Structure 1
Amino acid sequence: MSLTFASGTLEIRGVPHDREASVPASVPVPGLAWDDRTMCYRAPAVAYADVVRWLVAAKIPYEDDARRYPTLDAGARVHREPRPFQSEALSAWRAQRGRGVVVLPTGAGKSHVALMAIDDKRRGSLVVAPTLDLVRQWIDVLQTTFGVHVGLVGGGDHDVQPLTVTTYDSLYLHAEHLGSRFGLIVFDECHHLPSAAYSLAARACLAPYRLGLTATPERADGREADLAELIGPVAYRRDIVELSGEYLAEYETERVSIELSPEEREEHDTERAIYRDFVQSHGIRMSHPSGWGEFIMMASQSASGRRALAAYRRQRELAFAPKAKLEYLEYLLFQHRQDRAILFTQDNATAYGIARRFLVPVLTHQTKVRERSAILKAFAEGTYHALATSKVLNEGVDVPDANVAVILSGSGSVREHVQRLGRILRKKGDKRAVLYELVTESTTETFTSERRREHSAYR
């Protein structure tokens, strides 16, 4: 028998073919089927480990022309003493044959677990991250730890090395070529993986060892269940409340209710009524996944629709940044003038508005990489004591000096709220962190706040 990697799939030749059955009963491999075009059995590349284990268990000799990944003979040159829970996580992952998800809070050292896993398996390894900022951080830590040149695929580069870092988008584009070149894949922020395109890329890779890292695997669409197939089941999990104090900074959360002024309340309710009337009269269910797209489509077709869209935006603006909320933010900035505060908003417009009013730097997806690096460096050095952002600091970016977070607005996502809390929890000396959630009462923010606080870290 022989195994060959072909464009994200595994070709298995030499298995007797029964034309009455698409899959021989003797080969217990998910997704295996006969391919009449190439006259061989074919399976997704992700089935490689199952096929090899079956061949070994059945004592069937085979030629493996599928795997093209090297070994890392030298291993790590820098060894940092792991925390007990990091060692436990590695052991749990090993117990699952080197496949599975490790769930640890932001700031708890998930990347160190990955470094230990790479050193443990010593196979060509690919790290997949959602953003180029995270890619750069991974390249730095891999080069420091292993003392070798680290490859990069993405952002205009295509340099494949035994240790390589890429983005989810680039893996999707190049999986058919990269899929056989790595024995271990680390999926950072792996809650991104179950999307339709990214999951195809994961299935097109044969890596027998897979490690997923995330602080919150749960997804709004429930597709976190797919992680068991794409990476492996959850191997180890510790939450914020279990690690705060000893391994994460002590913290407290405070929910502050903000009332609209009489004038703001009248305008808010009027604008919301216009928007709601349009939605209801057209039978649009905004809670449905297609609701927003349907609303935009219908709104573009008439003057009343365009008015409803403007009303929707205006009632959100009033909920996100009413006068009293900005005045309270001014009070918080004065109270924490010696601290490092991150001001989180739901949208760029609010972030830029806060930056102009309080003369603080702002980070959005529009901020250039060099400018972002300069702002974060000045923030760490104390040149800036506060910065405003919309979503780019939700995950991945390391800001250990931050100890105050102010949530002015956001989505109802539990993950987003936990990630924002995680930005201020990195242990540094006797740092104590505080998160303020400013909620405009009797608006959609009230319900949003209740939804996003459904996590043990806020109970």
Structure 2
Amino acid sequence: MPQVKHQLRLDRGTLVMKDVPEVVMPLFQWDARSQSYRAKGQDYRAIVEGLKKGNVPFRDEAAGFLKLELDFSREITPYPHQQQALASWKRAGRRGVVEVPTGGGKTLIAQLALRDTPRSALICVPTLDLLAQWYSGLVAAFPDANVGMLGGGSKDETPILISTYDSAAIHAEDLAGRYALLICDEVHHLPGDWTRVIAEMSIAPYRLGLSATLKRSDGRERDLDTLIGPVVFSCSPDELAGTSLAAYRDEVIRVRLSPSEQQRYDDLIRQRNDFLRLNNIRLGTIEGWKKFIMSSGSPQGRAAMLAHREAKSLAYGTEGKLRVLEEILANHPEARTLIFVNDNATVYRISREFLIPAITHQTGAKERVAILDRFRSGEYQYLVSGQVLNEGVDVPEASVAVVLSGTATEREHIQRLGRILRKSEGKNAVLYEVITEGTTEERVSQQRRGQWQPRRELNLEELNAPD
């Protein structure tokens, strides 16, 4: 048997060839240290397809994929949007991103993709909560499959492996050649400096990204085109409301600072802005924020930063918002209600004054599970939280959400809305966004709603009006 001239192997997350055929040369770079040509692991599919198209014989020593026998045990008919998402992903060569609102069944889409692509698979998730949820879901969907976990004290080596992004990044070199299918939940985390190596080193020819919204503050969501693939399917909460998601309305309530609060707010913003002007700092960009943070090391900069934070706290925690919260809760006496705020201090204040259970990043795992279980059973009707319930937590069914602060980003809005959109018989969900007039909170909320228009806006006086 004649010796094959060209060999493709994997070394420390990069593909190596000693003699590169012309048809794939643009994908490789010369490495003088190893006296060989190297390419990113993510280019494996393009390299193999290029070699085959050019009729170049080669030996593939890089791939360690396994073909699986998967018995899908779930007897469920996917919603039309899930079927469309799966079909679109397949048409795109089993590479790409699916953007579906929270509550829209992203996990089932991934399970169907795995069912129809029965190869060794690596699933990356951002949190330990999601690690456990995905493990339970895959074991239930594929009872005969060998499913393992990487992270949270587990270090399995299984054909189907669920890992946190952090753990997958640490072990990216070892994982690079084992998995043919890479699934990234909450895929907007992937383009970060630390986590992107998972996709860059992996030679997985099939890739699926899942997210409720892809936008990042640094604009790196555009890197997903090369890391995972283009967006192949996208839908909004409005498109699914009343079908696969509960019908809902999104209402804005404006409150005003008291005269003394407004005066203090104006003074603080003036102090901050005077410093920004003197130092030619613009806060509308990431670079501007970095410069502001760096300048806070000086006495003047620290005073300006403290003024900024106090002004923000005034806008987020005005007494008027607590009065609105009281009225909202009174208007929904039977509804399970989630309350979101921006900072832990306000979380604990609401918890004390309204006698409502609270969850923050300081809440232990066991206590968090116990609180959510009691919320699920109805023992607790209300729950207040900071940002820990925005993402990666399977919050039990609720029908009312109140956002008292933290309204800046589209992602945060969609994630919080998704917490109340789990469909049930006769359910009509409502999200209240409470913002403070005459503050930057109002401006950033208006900017976001340029893309997410509420159905109706309310003044405080309208809150008690009948539907």
Aligned to 1:71: 67
Range with bigger deviation, 186-195 or 281-290: 281-290
Distance 1:115 1:208 in 2: 17
| Superposition map of 1:10-409 within 5 A | 10-15=15-20, 24=22, 26-27=23-24, 30=27, 32-147=28-143, 148-302=145-299, 304-409=300-405
SS in 2 for 1:290: helix
Distance 1:54 1:232 in 2: 18
**Offset at residue 218 of structure 1 (A):** 2.4
**Offset at residue 333 of structure 1 (A):** 1.5
Q: Contact conserved, 2:358 with 2:385, CA < 8 A, in 1?
A: yes
Runs of 5+ consecutive residues of structure 1 not aligned to the other structure: 17-23
- Kindly indicate whether residue 7 of structure 2 is the aligned counterpart of residue 2 of structure 1: yes
Aligned to 1:21: none
1:14 and 1:301, CA in 2 relative to 1: closer, same or farther beyond 3 A? closer
SS in 1 for 2:171: helix
Distance 2:423 2:60 in 1: 47
Range with bigger deviation, 270-279 or 87-96: 270-279
**Offset at residue 446 of structure 1 (A):** 0.9
**Offset at residue 287 of structure 1 (A):** 2.1
SS in 2 for 1:196: coil
Distance 2:311 2:80 in 1: 49
Q: Contact conserved, 1:400 with 1:427, CA < 8 A, in 2?
A: no
Q: Which runs of 4+ in 1 moved over 4 A?
A: none
**Offset at residue 452 of structure 1 (A):** 2.2
Q: Contact conserved, 1:414 with 1:451, CA < 8 A, in 2?
A: no
Letter in 1 for 2:69: D
Range with bigger deviation, 195-204 or 448-457: 448-457
Distance 1:430 1:175 in 2: 46
Q: Contact conserved, 2:397 with 2:419, CA < 8 A, in 1?
A: no
SS in 1 for 2:195: helix
SS in 2 for 1:428: coil
Distance 1:457 1:215 in 2: 17
Q: Contact conserved, 1:29 with 1:50, CA < 8 A, in 2?
A: no
**Offset at residue 411 of structure 1 (A):** 4.4
When the two chains are superposed, the root-mean-square deviation of aligned CA atoms in Å is: 1.7
**Offset at residue 205 of structure 1 (A):** 0.4
Q: Contact conserved, 2:191 with 2:220, CA < 8 A, in 1?
A: yes
**Offset at residue 4 of structure 1 (A):** 0.9
Distance 2:308 2:431 in 1: 28
1:217 and 1:15, CA in 2 relative to 1: closer, same or farther beyond 3 A? same
Letter in 1 for 2:112: M
Q: Contact conserved, 2:13 with 2:173, CA < 8 A, in 1?
A: yes
Distance 1:137 1:179 in 2: 24
TM-score, length of structure 1 as denominator length: 0.93
Q: Contact conserved, 2:172 with 2:202, CA < 8 A, in 1?
A: yes
1:160 and 1:62, CA in 2 relative to 1: closer, same or farther beyond 3 A? same
Distance 2:314 2:205 in 1: 52
Aligned to 2:459: none
Letter in 1 for 2:251: E
SS in 2 for 1:277: helix
Distance 2:379 2:277 in 1: 50
SS in 1 for 2:70: coil
Runs of 5+ consecutive residues of structure 2 not aligned to the other structure: 1-5, 456-467
Q: Contact conserved, 1:79 with 1:145, CA < 8 A, in 2?
A: no
SS in 2 for 1:74: coil
Letter in 2 for 1:8: G
Distance 1:107 1:457 in 2: 20
**Offset at residue 323 of structure 1 (A):** 1.1
Distance 2:273 2:101 in 1: 38
**Offset at residue 202 of structure 1 (A):** 1.0
Letter in 1 for 2:377: E
Q: Contact conserved, 1:355 with 1:388, CA < 8 A, in 2?
A: yes
